[in-house]
Amino acid sequence: MKMAKYETVFAQSDAPLEIAVLVLPRASILEVASVLDPLRNANRHLGREGFRWRIVSPDGAAVPLTCGIELSACGALAAAEGADVLIVIAGYNQSEIATRPLIAGIRRCAGRFRMVGAVDAGPWVLARAGLLDGHRATVHWEDLEDFAQAHPAVDVVPDRFVISRNRFTAGGASPAADLMLHLIGARCGAAVAGQVAASFQYEAQVDGARPQRPGILPPANDPRLAAALQIMGAHLEDPLPLESIARAQGLGLRRMEQLFQGELGQGPAAAYLELRLQAARRMMVDTRHTVQEVALRCGFIDPTSFSRAFRRRFGAPPGRIRGGLAQSKV
C-alpha cells in the first residue's frame, strides 16, 4: 500500500522538512522556543539542515509575545506557502486575536500542507476553522472541558500531544518539545533525538498519550497521595466523599489524613477545597463564565457559599478578581 503523503512527515527521511510557524500575538516565547530550538539543535547534531523553518504572523508584522519581546516574522500567512508543515502557536485571548479573516485564510490554505498542527491554544484556532473535525486532538489542560463542549465534532483527549492522520496538537510548551523530539526521532533516528534532549538536559516524555498534569495539583512523592490528588482534580464539579477516595488507594481515612498532613501540611478536605478554589480563580480570570456557572463547575451548589469561600481564600469576591489579572497560561 502506498504511504499517504502526510505519513512521510513522521517517517525516516534525509530530505529537509520545511516548517512554517504561525505565531499569534500573546503567545508565549517558551512555546515558540519549544518548537524551534529542538529543530535547530537537531541540525547541529546532524551537521546538515534536516529542518528549515520560517515565522509568519497574522499581518506580517513582528509578533508581541507575553514576555514583552517582539518576534520578527517573514510575512503574513501567505508567506507560509511552500512549506511541508504549518504549526499554529497561540496563547491567551485567541478568540479575539484569531479573527474571522485569519480563520478563513487558514481553512483555505490547510490543504496545501502535508500536515497542520497547533500548540497550546492553537487547537482552538484549527477547530474554529473546522480542521480538527473527525480528528483526535488535545489542548492546554485548562481548556479541555470548554474545548470539548465548544467542538463536539473533535475527539478531545487530555494527552500531552496527539498525532491524528494529517493533524497534530500539543497541550503546551513542554508537550510541544516532546512532539518535536518525536518528530526528530522519527525522521533522523532515536540517537539524534536523544542527543537533542541531552543538549537541553531535558527528560523527554516522548509518549504523547501520557496525560497532561493539571497545574492546580501540588507535587506529591507518595504515589497514593498523587493518585488521590488526581482523583480530586478529576472530580471538581462533583466532589467525591473522602472515604471513597481513600478506599480507592487501599487506605483508611485516618491514614490518608496522615499522608496529606505529612506532605502538604493540610488535610484532604482542605486540599480538595484548595483545588476547587484554584480552578474557580482560573475560570474567573481566563473565561467569561458567570459566577454561578463557575461555582457549579467547581462543586459549589450555592453561589453565596462559593463567594464566601472565594473571598476567604483570595481576599476579594469572584467578580472583583475578574478584570486586570488575566495572564498567559504559561
Model confidence pLDDT, tens digit, residues 13-50: 999 999 999 999 999 999 999 999 999 999 999 999 99
Question: Do both 129 and 262 map to the same domain?
Answer: no
Residue 156's nearest CA partner among 165, 166, 167, 145 is 145
Distance, CA of 198 to CA of 188 (rounded, Å): 16
Q: Count of CB atoms within 10 A of residue 226's CB?
A: 17
Mean pLDDT, rounded, for 146-150: 90
Range of the domain at 12: 5-199
CATH classification at residue 116: 3.40.50.880
Domain boundary among 167, 199, 231: 199
Burial level of 8, CB count in 10 A (0-12/13-18/19+)? Answer: middle
At residue 211 the predicted structure's pLDDT band, cuts being 50, 70 and 90, is low
pLDDT of 204: 62
Mean pLDDT, rounded, for 52-68: 96
Does residue 205 form part of some domain?
no
Question: Do both 227 and 316 map to the same domain?
Answer: yes
Which residues lie below 8 Å from residue 62, measured CB to CB, with a gap of 6+? 70, 71, 72, 73
Kindly report the backbone phi and psi dihedral angles of residue 122, in degrees, each rounded to the nearest multiple of 5, phi listed first: -55, -35
| Pairing outcome for strands 115-120 and 167-170 | parallel
Question: Do both 116 and 39 map to the same domain?
Answer: yes
Question: Do both 179 and 131 map to the same domain?
Answer: yes
Question: Is residue 82 within 8 Å of residue 19, measured between CB atoms?
Answer: no
CATH classification at residue 236: 1.10.10.60
Q: Count of CB atoms within 10 A of residue 200's CB?
A: 15
Domain boundary among 165, 199, 233: 199
> Quick one: cell of 253?
481515612
Question: Do both 70 and 114 map to the same domain?
Answer: yes
Does residue 208 form part of some domain?
no
